[in-house]
């Protein structure tokens, strides 16, 4: 890690040195999930954190990598927009919803692995490494298999770094065409109510579960990043813990 990256990383850490939040701890204890959650305001210095040490620890991003992967795929022109049809290859996979033609909108909503594997093979490892360096994403590594590196490769990112990346995405402070940033933000929408709009992406590597994103309220933008040691039977807790935490903090 060169001196510039060290300075950026240290600055990121010091922005998030706060006492452990008891409300969030109680929610994790009730769910019996070993994990971390960072909730951070855009307009103020308010931050709510559970498990500081884990929030600093890098883990494989799993399908949360579909956020930068979408930006990169659009920028490289392997997909033109959220409506272009991605033709199904006819191979039967474990999730029925994957076994048909997709769009970028459906691919991110249903976390369609084969769609992004198709993009990855067209993009190539060298371009990924270049983009990861440009956007300062986690440890900026990929892995041996270009089609699965975000699921079982060398790439790692912490909860704090996820928050930083999401803030830069929201502020359009990433080296991508504005159209591509706008498309990515649009397809991340999971809830749109009278009181808030939520943009989010889940992820699961088989061991590590993620739920990251941000909530646009009338008064502020709140960013969140959760990860935990989560089994298949516990996947519901990713979003459940985040939603309960946002509610107990009167954010939504």
63: annotated active-site residue:
yes
Contact 249, 48 (CB under 8 A): yes
pLDDT of residue 45: 86
Pairing of strands 189-192, 47-50: unpaired
Above 90 in pLDDT, residue 4? no
Q: For residues 47 and 5, which has the higher predicted lDDT (pLDDT)?
A: 47
* Residue 244 burial (CB count, 10 A): 17
Rounded average pLDDT over 134-160: 97
Which residue has tokens 């490892």?
125
- pTM for the model: 0.92
Q: Which of 64, 39, 14 is nearest to 224 (CA)?
A: 39
User: Helix, strand, or coil here: 71?
Assistant: helix
Q: Say if residue 197 is exposed, middle or buried (CB neighbours under 10 Å; 0-12, 13-18, 19+).
A: middle
Q: Which of 216, 241, 245 is nearest to 227 (CA)?
A: 241
Residue-wise pLDDT tens digits, 70-124: 999 999 999 999 999 999 999 999 999 999 999 999 999 999 999 999 999 999 9
Above 60 in pLDDT, residue 5? no
Q: Which of 119, 110, 194 is nearest to 150 (CA)?
A: 119
Residue tagged active-site, from 63, 111, 158, 245: 63
Domains in the chain with CATH codes: 18-248 (3.40.710.10)
Q: How many alpha carbons lie under 13 Å from residue 107 in its C-beta half-sphere? A: 27
Residue-wise pLDDT tens digits, 7-26: 455 555 545 555 589 999 99
Determine the Cα–Cα distance for residues 195 and 249; give it in Å rounded to an integer. 15
* Per-residue CA distances from 36 to 7, 72, 107, 196, 224 (Å): 24, 28, 27, 24, 10
Above 80 in pLDDT, residue 58? yes
Above 60 in pLDDT, residue 214? yes
Contact 156, 58 (CB under 8 A): yes
Rounded average pLDDT over 138-161: 97
Residue-wise pLDDT tens digits, 231-243: 999 999 999 999 9
Give the bridge partners for 240, in sequence order.
none
Contact 183, 82 (CB under 8 A): yes
> What does DSSP assign to residue 175?
S
Rounded average pLDDT over 129-154: 97
pLDDT of residue 12: 52
Give me the helices (H) in the chain, please: 3-14, 22-31, 52-55, 66-75, 104-109, 113-123, 125-134, 149-152, 159-170, 178-187, 236-248
Contact 251, 244 (CB under 8 A): no
The rounded percent of the chain whose pLDDT value lies above 70 is 92
Above 90 in pLDDT, residue 251? yes
The rounded percent of the chain whose pLDDT value lies above 90 is 92
């Amino acid at each position: 890690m060169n001196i510039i990256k060290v300075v950026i990383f240290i600055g990121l850490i010091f922005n998030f040195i706060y006492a452990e939040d008891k409300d969030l701890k109680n929610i994790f204890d009730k769910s019996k999930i070993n994990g971390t959650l960072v909730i951070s305001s855009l307009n103020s210095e308010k931050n709510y954190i559970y498990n500081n040490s884990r929030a600093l620890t890098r883990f494989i991003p799993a399908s949360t990598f579909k956020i930068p992967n979408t930006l990169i795929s659009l920028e490289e022109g392997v997909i033109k927009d959220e409506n272009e049809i991605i033709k199904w290859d006819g191979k039967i996979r474990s999730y029925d919803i994957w076994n048909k033609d997709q769009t970028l909108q459906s691919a991110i909503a249903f976390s369609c692995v084969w769609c992004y594997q198709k993009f990855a093979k067209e993009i190539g490892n060298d371009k990924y490494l270049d983009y990861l360096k440009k956007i300062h994403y986690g440890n900026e590594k990929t892995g041996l298999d270009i089609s699965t590196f975000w699921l079982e490769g060398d790439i790692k990112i912490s909860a704090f770094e996820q928050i930083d990346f999401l803030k830069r995405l929201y502020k359009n402070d990433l080296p991508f065409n504005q159209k591509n940033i706008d498309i990515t933000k649009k397809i991340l929408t999971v809830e749109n109510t009278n009181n808030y709009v939520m943009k989010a992406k889940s992820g699961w590597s088989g061991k590590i579960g993620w739920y990251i994103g941000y909530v646009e309220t009338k008064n502020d933008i709140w960013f969140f990043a959760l990860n935990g040691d989560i089994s298949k039977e516990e996947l519901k807790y990713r979003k459940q813990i985040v939603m309960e935490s946002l509610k107990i903090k009167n954010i939504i």
